[in-house]
A = this chain, B = another copy of it.
Amino acid sequence: MMNWKEWRHITKLDPDKVLGDGAIAEIAASGTDVLMLSGTLDVTPEKLADLYDQVRDSGLPVVVEPADPTGARFEGMDLVFVPTVFNAAHPMFVCGLHKEWVQHFPIDWNKVVGEAYVVLNPASSVGKLTHAKCDLTPEEVAAYAVVAEKYYRMPVFYIEYSGTYGNPAVTKAVSEAAEDIVVFYGGGINSAEKAAEMGQYADAIVVGNAVYDAGPAVLKDTVKAVR
């Protein structure tokens, strides 16, 4: 696997959604760097295992991004990306679930990559679940990125517009504030233009819903746009 810090294009697949026949092969041929298995709601270990079985022979690295401790599967995964939501309304989503995870589950810390999320679409599942305070200025989001990098020493800062296309000024401000922290942008990318716009600031863009809504053909365009 290439160093994950060099990824430019992440394809996010939801264990709670269904992919059509041949979709995995098309995704694998798109040029995307990695498959990230991730969903906010109704992800069970069984659904995760099913999706993993579908993608394990794709030739791509496979990582998981659990929404809660029960979703943190290590078996077969190259890495486990563990989110925290800095602008959540409750510390449960910042450090509380993490405490539960440590208490009740075995953890291979060598595979764990911490992601500091700022969630910016209040209508998204993750926005609703975490009651995220989404009316933030670019400067505020950038300040969170500095907290993540300098205070918490986290490896990833994730700008999450889940389901809607975001404000490029936010991604720009974050990229200017970030020194070593790797910046992911996710939300509403369903065209080469949007991929290019966010990809000029973010280290990696995440394409998720478009795979289901527009079909995997859209991936190739978004991949090309960030190379």
A: residues with CB less than 8 A from B are 82, 84, 86-91, 93-95, 98-100, 102-103, 107, 109, 112, 114, 139-140, 143-144, 146-147, 150-154
Complex interface: chain B residues within 8 A of A103 (CB) = 139-140, 143
Q: Are A88 and B86 in contact (CB under 8 A)?
A: no
10 A-B contacts (beta carbon < 8 Å): A91-B93, A99-B140, A99-B147, A102-B146, A102-B147, A102-B150, A103-B139, A103-B140, A153-B153, A153-B154
Q: Are A151 and B86 in contact (CB under 8 A)?
A: no
Complex interface: chain B residues within 8 A of A88 (CB) = 91
Q: Which of A107, A112, A147 has the most CB of B within 10 A?
A: A147
A160 CB, min distance to chain B CBs, angstroms: 15
Q: Are A151 and B91 in contact (CB under 8 A)?
A: no
Q: Are A99 and B154 in contact (CB under 8 A)?
A: no
Q: Given A154-B152, A154-B153, A147 and B91 touching (CB < 8 A)?
A: no
Q: Given A91-B91, A154-B152, A86 and B99 touching (CB < 8 A)?
A: yes
* CA gap between A94 and B89 in the complex, in Å: 11
Q: Are A98 and B151 in contact (CB under 8 A)?
A: yes
Complex interface: chain B residues within 8 A of A153 (CB) = 114, 152-154
A67 CB, min distance to chain B CBs, angstroms: 16
A141 CB, min distance to chain B CBs, angstroms: 9
Told that A86-B99, A88-B91, A91-B94 touch, could you supply 5 new A-B pairs with CB distance under 8 A? A91-B91, A100-B143, A102-B146, A103-B139, A114-B153
Q: Are A82 and B151 in contact (CB under 8 A)?
A: yes
Complex interface: chain B residues within 8 A of A107 (CB) = 150
Complex interface: chain B residues within 8 A of A90 (CB) = 90-91
Among all A-B residue pairs, the 5 with the closest Cβ atoms: A102-B143, A153-B153, A103-B143, A98-B147, A102-B146
A130 CB, min distance to chain B CBs, angstroms: 10
Complex interface: chain B residues within 8 A of A147 (CB) = 95, 98-99, 102
Q: Which residue from B91, B112, B140 sits with its C-beta under 8 Å from A150?
A: B112
CB-nearest residue of chain B relative to A104? Answer: B143
